[in-house]
Chains A and B, each alone.
Chain A
Amino acid sequence: MPDHAHLRRATAWMRRSADVDATRSSAALDDTSGHALLGLEGADDDFGPGSTALEPGRLYRRVSGTDDHARPVSDEELAGLGDPMAVEFFRVGTFPTTVQELLSNLPATAAASRKVYLVSEAGQIPPGAIGERDMRFAITAAVGGSQVDLLISAQAGGDPKQGFLQVAAWDPGEKVFNFYARFESSWVWAGNSWHALEPDSRGKGCFDSHVNGSVVMKELRIPWINWQSERATIRLAEDDPLRHDPLFQQVTGAQRLELTVRSLITRWTAARLTAITANGVVNHPDRLLRHLFTSTTINLASTDRQSSNITADSPDLTLPTGFWLNQDVLFDDLRLSTQAAPPRAPATRYLAGLSRFGFHLEEKHSGFSQPGDTFFAFVVPEAAHEDNEVVRQAVRTGLISAKFAACVLMVDFPNPVCSPARSHLMQYVPTMPTKTVKLCDKVAKAILDAVRAKDLPADSPEGRFAACWQEPDDAWRTVFGQRVDAYLRAVTQQIQTASGFDDYVRLAEFRRRQFRLMKLNEFELTLPVTNISSSAPPLAMREDATVAELS
């Protein structure tokens, strides 16, 4: 059986520099190791110059990018941490060294609320075909009330004292998540949600995956790729000792975790927006509006069909809607009028694409390789729920208008993630404190002024925004809805053709390439590998549903 004890790559952020450098040189992807729920790690860190070995039974502070090295948390600082981890453990001098010890010391009410989930990118690869499978438990509990406020990520199997153990815990007083990791017999506080947004610490340490200070479940939507769920059961050898682990025996489907993670993202987003608008002024409008104009992070979506089970006779595949557009914001939040149905692709086109583009799974560090797609077919990045939630709440609270949000998205709606055209408009977002009531108008005016002053063409991002902005308030939902419907009809036609489908495969691979550049890309087996060159020109979807090279 594989040794679960020492191969957890997610602990890289705790390593000394030399280890990290060695890791980087040995495997390109190992320097962005992490995990799905908590992602506390980031290999750009160690404990810093001058750091010494951590004493057992202490809580240290090390906010990456802010603190040069780990130092003990003072009593005053500890008193300021009001989350369940601090209250139930650190304040009373308890420093659990295993997940079992942590769970057994929680109040009985928390035990009753406990849910255990299981995730592994290699979870559908036959046992024995690959060595280390990087199984992780994600565990949630409600300690301080009826809503989840404690999230634990831990290695599944192996020696629990050696495996990683990380926690995100909600502080109801400060209204933030605090992020912790156990290191041997010590614990390190790695920062709170606000640190994710501060330039010094943004994207560093645990915030390489907790990009916006919330909890993370990349594969948030059905079929919850890589997670054990009502759509897929993770495969274990009959003699895998994990089967006898009491936590494994409590594993429930990730469909439930989706609900929890969505609610926690909503909770932090609400706290954040309340705080940053408390005095009627947004100090950093760019930090707010980047959620609308850019992709601060992404989720992964796929069909919910098992790739290896698809044959030429199989029914058409419904490709993930998030590949075509940001349906959550456009339809559910902004309520564009639509009669569209999700585009469906013939199974034969999908199968031909697998062969033509040489789809396979590959893990360089272990030498594992297997022909074909990921377990669920056609994995692609889609707009992140974290970004969408900020937009939704900003619209709901009147911070920005629905029309403004719609106009920004309609600038390049066929490219729901990493749109250069939308990102281009970030230059018009103020970086200085701005009154909330003037925020939208200020940005819109800046864009319209630029169109006039520079005589920008109608198909420039500015020109497209200006055209949308001219639509009457009582008509834009219908007008935009008609454009979206026409686009989806065109997609439905294009996807029937060999060339059209192949173009979408290339576009999907280009978007996956962008994901691979993110620190969120933690495991090689998350995505398939193809024979499309990594230096192939960048691609974009056009509103006529054709794919074009980005100029």
Chain B
Amino acid sequence: MPTLDAYAPPGNLDDLDDFGRKAWNTFISNTVDEAIQGPDPQQVLNDSPRLQFYNLTRTNTDTDVRHAPIKWTAFPRVIKITSISDLQRWQRADASRDVQDEYCEWSVIRDGAGKITQVTFTSEGPEYWEILAQTNPGKVLELYQKFISPDARKEDLFSPSGRYEPRNKWNNSTSHGAMHLIQPNNTLGAEIELAAAATIRRVINGQELTTEQELIACSKYGAPERNSDPHIGAGVNALARQKADISLADPVGLYFDDLSTDGWETPDGSDPKSYWTYLRGDSEHRVRAVYEVPPDKGFGVGDITIGGRTIEFGAQIADFITIRLTGIACRFGDSTVPPQIACKEFSAVDMREESFNAAAFSSSGRFLDPRPTLSYRSSRVS
């Protein structure tokens, strides 16, 4: 397979104009290049470069290519393991987009009696929307009006200076719509960085690390508490151990893999899966879905049962959703990149007070290291 001419938009969406598509390709390509380069080795030890990761627009893919889908559950594991019961975890996950950190966020619509009528899920990274907003703001408004509410106005989505506000009133809650991902860790930039970092093989004390937890503990490429990060890392690293070159398949993105409806029952015996509809993305790359029963059926989502229990929370559906990314690997057995023999470490730094300034704190209040390469890796397009 020759080199790609350009990275395609997530899901092969067609919202971008030519300029936007070029901007998107530049963003992904640059992000991949930065991920290959890795952090400054003077500041971060044993984490760069990542020479088994490659850019599809700069390096060809050989004929021995294998696609490796990596799938995980959409329900946030952090919430799962810190809740005492299913009821508690569903309530917590439905309460805030900020806890929906498995690259899948959702918003719930209820009727006057509080019964669920619709749950919308998205896996669209924020970067795409920032580029779309910068290159075609009218399209952004059009999409919000189509998918969230006809009441959406330009001033709801953009600041007075014209800057797009990802956490706008139509995309900042679990009850007023979910247009794209906003949870701070749910970015394509994070996905690419994680995949690249995970290509580093680790041989510690003569023993090659292979398990999900030992790899993420050593390579520190994500949050060990999530379903996604350790699993993505282990999947990618398994390819790296076969001495292959690795990349993320084009179009780079996070996609709905499936909704299982095992144990679901509808009041009229109809197929519960028939109410799951993909709204955006091509047939192989779905990025937006809705679970909703047509009005003429005479019942709603809240009347459907899962294992005999009615659907009271959008999170109950998230338990049954799998999210996917696809890695590709080729040139198996050819890589000569040696493994790292130590774990990722941060070099000592003088943490003087004057090193900090307002910019060292993200909008979500997260601490930023004064060293740029150690800072929270913003995926915001500048």
Chain A interface (Cβ within 8 Å of chain B)?
A: 124, 146-148, 222, 230-233, 235, 238, 252-253, 255-256, 259-260, 262-264, 266-267, 270, 304-306, 308-309, 318, 321, 327-328, 330-332, 335, 338, 340-342, 392-393, 396, 488
Interface residues of B in 253-271 (CB under 8 A from A): 260-264, 271
* Shortest beta-carbon distance from A329 to chain B in Å: 10
Given known A230-B72, A230-B227, A309-B217, contact A259–B308 (CB-CB < 8 A): no
Given known A252-B71, A342-B82, contact A148–B88 (CB-CB < 8 A): no
* Shortest beta-carbon distance from A201 to chain B in Å: 27
Main secondary structure of the interface of B (DSSP, over half): mixed
B86 touches A393 (CB 8 A): no
* Shortest beta-carbon distance from A214 to chain B in Å: 13
B81 touches A304 (CB 8 A): yes
* A-chain residues with CB within 8 Å of residue B210 when the two chains form the complex: 233, 235
With both beta carbons as reference points, the residue of chain A lying nearest to B264 in the complex is identified as A263
With both beta carbons as reference points, the residue of chain A lying nearest to B322 in the complex is identified as A256
B85 contacts the other chain (Cβ, under 8 Å)?
yes
Given known A230-B227, A252-B71, contact A332–B262 (CB-CB < 8 A): no
**Range of interface residues on B (Cβ < 8 Å):** 35 or more
Given known A321-B84, A338-B88, contact A230–B308 (CB-CB < 8 A): no
Given known A222-B77, A263-B262, contact A328–B86 (CB-CB < 8 A): yes
B273 touches A318 (CB 8 A): no
30 example contacts (A-B, Cβ-Cβ < 8 A) are as follows A124-B211, A146-B261, A147-B262, A222-B80, A231-B212, A233-B212, A233-B238, A235-B211, A253-B71, A253-B72, A255-B73, A260-B260, A262-B262, A262-B263, A262-B307, A263-B263, A266-B263, A266-B307, A266-B308, A267-B263, A305-B213, A306-B214, A308-B214, A327-B84, A327-B85, A328-B86, A332-B87, A332-B309, A338-B84, A338-B85
A335 touches B87 (CB 8 A): yes
* A-chain residues with CB within 8 Å of residue B83 when the two chains form the complex: 341-342
Q: How far is the CA of A253 from the CA of B217 in the complex (A)?
A: 22
Given known A222-B77, A306-B213, A309-B217, contact A259–B263 (CB-CB < 8 A): yes
* B-chain residues with CB within 8 Å of residue A306 when the two chains form the complex: 211-214
B320 touches A332 (CB 8 A): no
**Could you say which of B73, B82, B217, B234 contacts A341, with CB atoms under 8 Å apart?**
B82
* A-chain residues with CB within 8 Å of residue B40 when the two chains form the complex: none
* Shortest beta-carbon distance from A391 to chain B in Å: 12
Chain B 230-264: CB-based contact to A (< 8 A → 1; otherwise 0): 11001000100010000000000000000011111
**The 6 A-B residue pairs with the shortest CB-CB distance in the complex, in nearest-first order:** A263-B263, A331-B85, A263-B262, A306-B213, A230-B231, A259-B262
Q: Known pairs A252-B71, A260-B260, A306-B214; list 5 more (Cβ under 8 Å).
A: A233-B234, A309-B211, A328-B86, A338-B85, A338-B88
* B-chain residues with CB within 8 Å of residue A340 when the two chains form the complex: 84
Q: How far is the CA of A305 from the CA of B322 in the complex (A)?
A: 22
B320 touches A341 (CB 8 A): no
Q: How far is the CA of A396 from the CA of B262 in the complex (A)?
A: 20
Interface-central residue, B86, B214, B307, by most chain A CB under 10 Å:
B307
* Shortest beta-carbon distance from A300 to chain B in Å: 17
* B-chain residues with CB within 8 Å of residue A318 when the two chains form the complex: 81-82
* A-chain residues with CB within 8 Å of residue B72 when the two chains form the complex: 230, 253
Given known A230-B73, A259-B262, A392-B308, contact A342–B84 (CB-CB < 8 A): yes
With both beta carbons as reference points, the residue of chain B lying nearest to A146 in the complex is identified as B271
* B-chain residues with CB within 8 Å of residue A230 when the two chains form the complex: 71-73, 227, 231
B319 contacts the other chain (Cβ, under 8 Å)?
yes
* Shortest beta-carbon distance from A85 to chain B in Å: 20
* B-chain residues with CB within 8 Å of residue A222 when the two chains form the complex: 77, 80-81
* B-chain residues with CB within 8 Å of residue A264 when the two chains form the complex: 262-263
* A-chain residues with CB within 8 Å of residue B217 when the two chains form the complex: 309
With both beta carbons as reference points, the residue of chain A lying nearest to B215 in the complex is identified as A309
* A-chain residues with CB within 8 Å of residue B238 when the two chains form the complex: 233
B231 touches A309 (CB 8 A): no
With both beta carbons as reference points, the residue of chain B lying nearest to A255 in the complex is identified as B73
A396 touches B308 (CB 8 A): yes
Given known A222-B77, A270-B308, A304-B81, contact A256–B88 (CB-CB < 8 A): no
A309 touches B308 (CB 8 A): no
Q: How far is the CA of A432 from the CA of B71 in the complex (A)?
A: 51
* Shortest beta-carbon distance from B343 to chain A in Å: 12
B307 touches A309 (CB 8 A): no
* B-chain residues with CB within 8 Å of residue A263 when the two chains form the complex: 262-264, 307
